[in-house]
Amino acid sequence: MSETVKHSLMFAFVGVLIILDGTTSFGIFAGSWNSALGILNMGLVSAIMALGVNLQWGFAGLFNVGIMGFTALGGLAVVLVSSSPTPGAWSQGGIGIIMALILGALTVVAAVFITKNMTKGKPRVLALTALLIAGFFAYRAVFDPAVSGVEAINPALYGSLGGLGLPVLLAWPAGGLLAAGAAWLIGKTALGLRSDYLAIATLGIAEIIIAIMKNEDWLSRGVKNVVGLPRPMRKEIVLQEDPGFLDTAASLGLDPVVASTLYVKITYSLLFTVVLLALLWMAQMGLKSPWGRMMRAIRDNEVAAEAMGKNVTRRHLQIFVLGSAICGVAGAMMTTLDGQLTPGTYNPLRFTFLIWVMVVVGGSGNNFGAVLGGIFIWFFWIKVEPMGAGLINFVTYGLADDSALKLHLLDSTAHMRLFTMGLILLLVLRFSPRGLIPEK
């Protein structure tokens, strides 16, 4: 069997799994198209994230442990770009916040300027310290009243700046830009040093991005969440009142409620597929181009590539920013799909580690592998909990229903996910490090 046929069969297998989930309720399958399309949509988003991580890891060998942070920044972009502006927020302090942020940025720029242009020694240290302290207090003096002004506006409904009210599709590239900015900052400091340092720095930035999103209420309402984000298509309720739509649904023999949810989900699937295909095409073209060859040459032997006159650190920075931007786009798409931004739900297991499992299982260094891994592992991830519960019920078959051990085990099935995913990663790394679709 040729490689291409084998790989197409793998994709077909995942397709069949999703179709089975839509059609039959045997075993782990849900038997509803709603659930099947839900899995497919998140699978597509996961595939895009995996594509971004594959760019960093598969092409360049960069270990990014902060995917969660870049995804969350994408979600933040949706709120900032597409939610409607809070009435009065700009006059109550929005401008003050922007001024404070500019002031903070200017302080940092001035600090960099001093570091670069003064000779080493006591005067430089003194000047830097004085500048940073003055800058910090000036920043706080402008920032604090502005923030309390914004947060005081009807906190139960708004209490944040709100967004620009632009179409939600614009938020997707904006999410990519935000993530790229954060990645540039991290890459600039940690790249060019040992590979471990990038991992540690990305781990840190992800935690901090989440902390900021949870605590800065003026930005995105913090843990009060932003709900009801706009959508790129009509809402279910609107559809159910549209006579044209109702007629079409009736002619297909579908219940209007079911038809409207399916319509929304299928539209998302199509949109996501378009984005995925576009990114996949770009990644494939990149991989084949001289640029991609250079990247792999750097990955395989940094010293040799440097000897050939390649600036390894700059190239690493470039691909790190690109990969993170893709994660940001995917994060924005995911928040659009959810229709809400809930900073409390971001956890590293789901948003960093799972993506890694997808890339490694799918085949690092191969874009199709990343896509396959993304959709397949997402399916598995959704289904591992019913599987775990079934397994524990089976193992504890002989125990009484109210035995403490059985109850404890059943309570803990949720944590099986952590364990199973860790196990899968270790097994694949050990026994099949090239993944399902290996790099050519």
Rounded-to-integer distance, Cα 374 and Cα 356, Å: 9
Applying CB under 8 A, the span of 34-42, 156-164, 167-175, 200-208 interacting with other proteins comes to 200-208
Q: Which of residues 205, 213, 341, 436 is near other proteins by CB under 8 A?
A: 205
Q: Least distance in Å: CB of 295 to other proteins?
A: 16
Cβ closest to other proteins, residue 233 vs residue 410: 410
Instruction: Write the CA distances from 387 to 29, 194, 393, 425, integer angstroms.
Output: 11, 40, 10, 18
Cβ closest to other proteins, residue 101 vs residue 280: 101
Binding flag, residue 136, other proteins (CB under 8 A): yes
Cβ closest to other proteins, residue 66 vs residue 163: 66
Q: Least distance in Å: CB of 354 to other proteins?
A: 10
Q: Least distance in Å: CB of 222 to other proteins?
A: 10
**Length of the chain, in residues:** 440
Q: Which residues contact 175 (CB under 8 A, 6 or more apart)?
A: 73, 74, 75, 76, 77, 78, 328, 329, 331, 332, 333
Applying CB under 8 A, the span of 13-21, 282-290, 331-339, 421-429 interacting with other proteins comes to 421-429
Q: Which of residues 211-240 bind other proteins (CB under 8 A)?
A: 211-212, 214-215
Q: Determine the 3-state secondary structure of 377 from DSSP.
A: helix
Q: Which of residues 258-317 bind other proteins (CB under 8 A)?
A: none
Using CB under 8 A as the binding criterion, the count of chain residues that bind other proteins stands at 44
CB-based burial label for 177 (10 Å; 0-12, 13-18, 19+): middle
Cβ closest to other proteins, residue 33 vs residue 139: 139
Q: Which of residues 61, 176, 343, 363 is near other proteins by CB under 8 A?
A: 61
Rounded-to-integer distance, Cα 62 and Cα 55, Å: 9
Rounded-to-integer distance, Cα 402 and Cα 203, Å: 42
Q: CB-side exposure of 47: number of CA atoms within 13 Å?
A: 29
Q: Which of residues 44, 48, 65, 72 is near other proteins by CB under 8 A?
A: 65
Cβ closest to other proteins, residue 280 vs residue 312: 312
Rounded-to-integer distance, Cα 238 and Cα 254, Å: 17
Taken in order 35, 38, 44, 47, is the CA torsion positive or negative?
A: negative
Q: Which of residues 172, 356, 376, 379 is near other proteins by CB under 8 A?
A: 356
Applying CB under 8 A, the span of 4-12, 206-214, 254-262, 377-385 interacting with other proteins comes to 206-214
Binding flag, residue 415, other proteins (CB under 8 A): yes
Q: Which of residues 63, 90, 245, 291 is near other proteins by CB under 8 A?
A: 63
Cβ closest to other proteins, residue 13 vs residue 419: 419
Q: CB-side exposure of 88: number of CA atoms within 13 Å?
A: 10
Residue 252: phi and psi, rounded to 5, are -85, -5
Q: Least distance in Å: CB of 193 to other proteins?
A: 5
Q: Which of residues 91-120 bind other proteins (CB under 8 A)?
A: none
Q: Which of 164, 334, 339 is nearest to 236 (CA)?
A: 339
Applying CB under 8 A, the span of 11-19, 158-166, 197-205, 306-314 interacting with other proteins comes to 197-205
CB 410 within 8 A of CB 385: no
Binding flag, residue 90, other proteins (CB under 8 A): no
Residue type, 396: T
- Which neighbouring-strand residues pair with 344? none
Binding flag, residue 24, other proteins (CB under 8 A): no
Cβ closest to other proteins, residue 22 vs residue 348: 348
Q: Which residues contact 311 (CB under 8 A, 6 or more apart)?
A: none
Q: Determine the 3-state secondary structure of 364 from DSSP.
A: coil
Residue 76: phi and psi, rounded to 5, are -60, -40
Binding flag, residue 184, other proteins (CB under 8 A): no
Q: Which of residues 10, 420, 434, 438 is near other proteins by CB under 8 A?
A: 420
> Which residues of the chain form contacts with other proteins (CB under 8 A)?
61, 63, 65, 136, 144, 189-190, 193-197, 199-201, 203-205, 207-208, 211-212, 214-215, 348-349, 353, 356, 360, 411-412, 415-423, 425-426, 429-430
